[in-house]
A and B are shown apart, each in its own frame.
Chain A
Amino acid sequence: MKKNNFKRLELALYYVVVFFILREWLVPIMELTGTGYTSLILLFIAINLVLNLFKVHYSISWVIKLVYMSWFIVFVYSGQSILSVDGFLFLLDIFKTNSAIIIQSDWVHVTDPFRTLLFFILIWMLIYLIHHWITVRMTIFYFIVLTVFFIATLDTFTEYDGSNAIIKIVLLGLMMTSILFIKRLLSQSNVHIAWFKYIKLVMPIVFLIGLSGIVAILLPKSPPQWPDPVPFIKSAAGQGEEIDNRDGVSKVGYGENDSRLGGSFIADDTVVFLAQAETKQYWRVETKDIYTSKGWEKSDYFVGTASVYLPNEPIYHSLPVGPEEETQSASIQVLYPFEFIIQPYGLKSIEVDGTADGSIELHMDDNSEKLIPKVNNSTITLDNYLVQYSKPVYLYSELKNPTEEMNPFIQERYLQLPETLPSRVRDLAEEIVAGEETPYDKARAIEMYFRQNGFRYSTDNVAVPAEDQDYVDQFLFETKIGYCDNFSTSMVVLLRSIGIPARWVKGFAGGDVINTDGAVKEFQVTNNDAHSWVEAYIPNVGWINFEPTIGFNNTRTINYDVQTNAYQQEELTVDEETEPDETVEEEEEEQQKTTEKNNILSTFVDFIKEHKVVLIFVFIVLVLFAFSLYKLRRKWLPKVYVRMNKQKQFSEASFEAMYLQLLKILELKGFKRLEGQTLQSFAAEVDAYYSTKHMSNITKAYEQFIYAKDLREVDFDEMKESWEYLINQTTS
């Protein structure tokens, strides 16, 4: 009797610990989901534990738990008493509606009361599992590890602060694990000791864990030793944050903050949108006009104004639009939570899929020409829309003969340069454009400058300007290594320094063709395609785009009306090798094809380089997986063997293989037969452990089989039975 009481006391102690650990699970869930009634749910846990503790017959314990659950649901969701007719009807109603919903597999519409019910059942199951772990398996280690992992994850990715919880869990968990370990040792070796001796055994552990815990808490802790991996994981999981970390390596993508440019990038293949259009083109998002010598800011030239357009309404912007008959449409499918519209050159209007969204308004920021979709003045993300556009066509004659006077407002706004800009930048600009007459030719000269004078495109090892250094100056004269931001910013600054108004444009490059359906191609645009380029203002003509970055091509359509006099339209690329009167796009594709063929190896190397982190991660995961498979082989390998041999019949042919396999499984189980140990003595050991005779029986027959080559008297059915018995023993 006394012994029983002691056992119950012991179990009660475990349950108290378990209760506190479960509480650490529950609290963050409640906190993060904003669920109330934590104490009532804790009470449910306590009831469960107490019922388990006193081994209440399950018919009674089920009734108690079900009644509590029903009471909780009725009390919380209707405020009525469960005993009242209304309360009962409420409960009935929940079951009726939800069973219908579940039959239809319409999981989204399952009501909260029913979810609560499921949550209770989950707790119930969890407690049963813990009960099993404690009383039968006598190990709680996995549960503790899982709890630590759970709290660590919540702490890392949510606002929940688990620093206190983790201490409690580790201390309680370690104590629990070690006490259960003692218990397991005692029960395995069939030792029963008096309760005071047990206490004597447990006390040092509790004391040690407590002491080391206190020491650990009090010790000073060093700051994190490696960079926070959370942003990377988040962005890999599709929750990217804006890039504003310019000190180290950033990840490529569309960011809002450009006030400090520079630094290296890691490639990122996340697809951000798909566009179905006839031609490859740049996608514009916004422009910026104030150069700060470190990066770009948006000016407040138009204070607080935004032009509001409805879908399908013509949209006005500063860029020229092509002829009406050339109007095309592109359908955009956005896969990333962008809060802006992606605009092609020559934008006319936006068509939003789905007629129900009549309340959508498109707000255009007049300063940056960023187009933001809003409903009731709150920004939304549009997943699908159609853009109508007609590519602007520039007349060569007008480009060459600027007659119009420069607009003073444009001059005021787009010739801004920081006072600290070193004079050698201006001198360089003068030098580049020497001999060029028209603004267009000057701009062309600057655009081409980067391709000839030792500049290199790279996303690695890109410098960040020092405190007293100018971003453009550093790139033009010192590093000459950079990516689109370096080239485009430098070109804008060079243009401005010789009096040509220019602005910095952000958006996406054309992307890759992944599908072709007749004339329409589907372009896949990834974070890697995030890009910046230049728009310059040419009198008479207006804004025209330039692409200074090495390795990028942007088409602008120029009508060479001077040379041919006919209305012949050709496209000019900024690529200098390209002849103006050839069909550029075709050649471009051809070029791409040949380079692709030539560079399969280098693409492969690039692929490996680009995805180094991911590949290493995958490799580590694979290695860990393989290692744990190997470590846990005694758990799964016997099952594989059994599965393999379940169908096999015992016969003379298979006997040897089956027996040897049995030896292998036993070895995995810990029965290692030394090479010098005879099968008979080994079998005796195994039989002694499992207190059977099966191993000796099967071994006797096997010995006869190999040492006497005689199987006449062997009963194979009996052998199979013994074999299966032993396998079951080892795998159970």
Chain B
Amino acid sequence: MHKQIEGIIENIEKVMIGKREVAELSVVALLSGGHVLLEDVPGVGKTMMVRALAKSVSAEFKRIQFTPDLLPSDVLGVSIYNPKTLQFEFRPGPIVGNIILADEINRTSPKTQSALLESMEESSVTVDGETLQIPKPFFVMATQNPIEYEGTYPLPEAQLDRFLLKIKMGYPTAQEEIEVLRRAEKTEPITQLSPVISIEELIELQEEVLNVYVDDSIKSYIVQLARATRKVSEIYLGVSPRASIALMKACQAYAKMKDRDFVKPDDVQYLAPYVFGHRIILKPEARYEGVTVEGIVDRILSNAVIPIKRYAEK
């Protein structure tokens, strides 16, 4: 485990009990410059997770609560006429920050959703022909309620593709929940958190992640997995090459977190469900039959041939 990264995760764990895996995955996304979609029912700690992460890295934390009547300008910012200077002045919206919590993203209209997602992809905001670069690190954690709930606008496929990982929180165990209560009894734990890493250090880490070595054999393994998703009969739409890139980047970050300077098939296997899960769209009939994306990814993983020899060009 990389010491600095271990520090971040431990810090988060002070607040989030029994959610180490979610913390790790969030940090993986943060390190590889991707964004995370947290999906679960309300109240399991999605927001707390993001806040804890933001506090740990001493980054600027902003929160956008998505509602059905939210407009794109409420997210991106708006140009206001300044009578003093006789000019339009751009007032950046909440999207311009380091760590953004986009809460309940599927409650807003697709118009606003896409405004957010465009800026996530480009790391910039464009209003009235003016483009404003969003400073690094830029990390969006969106939360969404499961699609089956009332009053939600499901995210379009193309938008989903922009999230590096989709993570499910899940309920704590009884033991963990007791511990949650115990900690919340007297104080609000989140207020106790102090940053463990500076923005500069974080950016440095992000750059180091890019130097993690990915062997061609691993690349071919990733491609093998991606291609497999496009051939499964129950899948309506397989994953895109962007997903392959995302998987590789996530693996690099994960390897860095494990303090390793190369990627192993184990990393790929571990991350593939989180990277591919939200990018695969099942055929309706398969869904009715009870087929799940997780099941299919599992199957693909167990059928794919892991490279155990030195890679040789074919």
A contact set with B: CB distance below 8 Å: 656, 660, 663, 674-681, 703-710
Contact = CB atoms under 8 A, between A and B. Distances in A.
Contacts of B217: 706-707
Interface stretch (B99-107, B151-159, B262-270, B280-288): B262-270
Contact of B266 (A681, A704, A706): A681
Contacts of A709: 213, 215, 310
Interface stretch (B53-61, B132-140, B297-305): B297-305
B241 interface: no
A705 to B, nearest CB: 8
B304 A676 contact: yes
B215 A707 contact: yes
B304 A707 contact: no
Contacts, number: 54
A678 B264 contact: yes
A700 to B, nearest CB: 10
Interface string B270-314: 000000000000000000000000000000011111111111000
B229 to A, nearest CB: 15
Interface of B: 213, 215, 217-218, 261-266, 269, 301-311
Contacts of B269: 678
11 contacts: A663-B308, A675-B305, A677-B306, A678-B264, A679-B265, A680-B266, A681-B266, A704-B262, A705-B310, A706-B307, A708-B261
A706 B306 contact: no
Nearest to A704: B262
A156 B252 CA distance: 74
A520 to B, nearest CB: 69
Secondary structure type dominating chain B contacts: loop
Contacts of A677: 302, 306
A673 to B, nearest CB: 8
B306 A707 contact: no
B266 A660 contact: no
Contact of A676 (B263, B264, B305): B305
A698 to B, nearest CB: 13
Which of A656, A677, A706 has most B Cβ within 10 Å? A706
B265 A678 contact: yes
A676 B301 contact: yes
A676 B306 contact: yes
Contacts of B305: 675-676
A706 B303 CA distance: 21
B302 A707 contact: no
Contacts of B308: 660, 663, 679, 706
A675 B309 contact: no
Q: Max chain B CB contacts within 10 Å: which of A676, A679, A710?
A: A676
B221 to A, nearest CB: 10
Nearest to A657: B309
> What 3 A-B pairs come out closest when comparing CB atoms?
A708-B262, A676-B302, A678-B266
Contacts of B310: 656, 705-706, 709
A88 B306 CA distance: 75
B247 to A, nearest CB: 15
A652 to B, nearest CB: 10
A656 B309 contact: yes
A674 B302 contact: yes
Contacts of B213: 708-709
B309 A660 contact: yes
Contacts of B262: 704, 707-708, 710
Given A707-B263, A708-B213, A676 B309 contact: no
B211 to A, nearest CB: 12
A679 B307 CA distance: 9
Contacts of B302: 674, 676-677
Given A675-B303, A679-B308, 8 more contacts: A660-B309, A676-B304, A676-B305, A679-B265, A681-B266, A703-B264, A706-B307, A709-B310
Contacts of A707: 215, 217-218, 262-265
A675 B215 contact: no
Q: Please indicate which of the listed interface residues B261, B262, B265, B308 has the most CB atoms of chain A within 10 Å of its own CB.
A: B308
B209 to A, nearest CB: 15
Contacts of A656: 309-310
A706 B309 contact: yes
Nearest to A663: B308
Contacts of A705: 310
A389 B310 CA distance: 83
Contacts of A663: 308
Nearest to A703: B264
Contacts of B218: 707
A473 to B, nearest CB: 79
A498 to B, nearest CB: 90
A660 B264 CA distance: 17
A705 B308 CA distance: 10
A372 to B, nearest CB: 78
Most interface-central of B261, B265, B305 (chain A CB within 10 A): B265
A712 to B, nearest CB: 12
A680 B268 CA distance: 13
B54 to A, nearest CB: 33
